Amino acid sequence: MLHQKLVKSVLNKHKKRDSWFLDDYSVNPYEGCSCNCLYCYIRGSKYGENMDEGLAVKTNALEILEKQLATKAKKGQYGFVAVGSGTDAYIHHEEKLRITEGMLQLLLKYRFPVFISTKCTLIKRDIELLKEIDRQAILPDDLQPRLKRGVILSVSLSTTNEKISNMLEPGAAPPVQRLELVKQLKEQGFLTGVNAIPVLPFISDSGEELEKIIVAAKTHNADYILVGGLTLFGNDTADSKTLFYKFLERYDPSLLPKYQQLYGANWYTSFSYQDELKQRANLLCKKHSIRNTILE
C-alpha cells in the first residue's frame, strides 16, 4: 500500500562530499523501495520486512525541493545531488507518480549536477531530461577541471546470477537487463558505470565471480566499476542481517556459520576482509582495463 507523507525538508546536505559517488546532496522522492533487496542498509527501521508495503510518497516534495534549490543556487552552493540514496529513484510507482521526473526538472531549472544509481530500467524514460542536465549543470569549482559534465549514472549489481538476484532483489530488473542498461546509457553519451555494491561474501566475492562482474561491466562499455562489501544491520525480524541469514538458509545453509564468523555482532566485515576485497578488485580492474573510480 502506498502511503502519503508531507515533509519539511527533502534536500539533504552532506557533511562532506561522498568520496565514491561525488555527491554533496541527496534527495529521496519516496520512503521505502519496491526493489525489496533483503540486504538493503535501511532495513530494520520503520519500513518493515517488505519495504514496498510500507512505501510512502512525499506529496509535497517538489514544492519543498524548489525552495531549497533556489536558496542553494542563490548562494552558489552547487554540488552533485544523489537522486534516490535511500530508495531507488525508479521504483515501479514512479512510472505513474513521476516524482523523480519532477525532481530532475527542478534540478535542471536550478542547474544542479546529478548522480543516480539504479536497478530499474525506467530511467530510460528520462534520458532527454538527463541530457539537458548533463549539458547545463554548474559543477563545484574543484570538480570543473576534472569532470566537465553534469550527470553521473550508475547501475547497481551484486551478482550476475539471476537465481540469486531473484531471491535477494525481487523487485529489481534481472542482472542481464541491468547490464544492457549500462550499454544503452553509455550509447546515449552518459558517464556510466557499475556499482558492484554489495558483492556477497562466499557468493559473488570470489575471484571467479568478481571477475565475471568486472568483465561484464567492461563488455557492456561501463566507464568504471565501484566494488564494495556487504553491510548487515540488526537482529530483529525486519533487519537486513536477519533477512539475509534467512536467505542463506534457503540458498546454501553451509554458508550461515561462515557469515556468523565473518560478521559476529558487527554490521560490517573485518578490515582485513575489506582490504583484501579492495586489493583483488583493483588487480582485476587493472587486468581488464577498467577504472575503479568515477574520476579518471
Q: Bridge partners of 192?
A: 153
Q: Is residue 8 part of a domain?
A: yes
pLDDT at 56: 83
How far are the Cα atoms of 46, 63, 159, 247, 251 from residue 167, in angstroms, in the given order?
A: 22, 38, 11, 7, 9
pLDDT at 231: 92
Round to whole Å and give the CA distance between 89 and 100: 6
pTM, whole model, 2 decimals?
0.94
pLDDT at 1: 66
**Is the pLDDT confidence value at 112 over 90?**
yes
Q: Is residue 247 part of a domain?
A: no
The residue that leads in pLDDT, 269 or 42, is 269
30-31 and 56-58 beta bridge pairing: antiparallel
| Co-location of 151 and 163 in the same domain | no
The residue that leads in pLDDT, 280 or 86, is 280
| Co-location of 146 and 35 in the same domain | yes
pLDDT at 36: 78
pLDDT at 35: 84
Q: In what order do the strands lie in the sheet with 56-58?
A: 3-5, 56-58, 30-31
pLDDT > 70: percent of the chain: 95
Count of domains observed in the chain = 2
pLDDT at 54: 63
| Co-location of 116 and 223 in the same domain | no
Residue 185 structural domain: 159-230+269-296
Of 156, 175, 196, which residue sits at a domain end? Answer: 156
pLDDT at 44: 54
Could you read off the pLDDT of 225-261 as tens digits, one per residue? 999 999 998 888 888 999 999 999 999 999 999 999 9
| Co-location of 79 and 53 in the same domain | yes
**Is the pLDDT confidence value at 3 over 90?**
no
Of 156, 172, 206, which residue sits at a domain end? Answer: 156
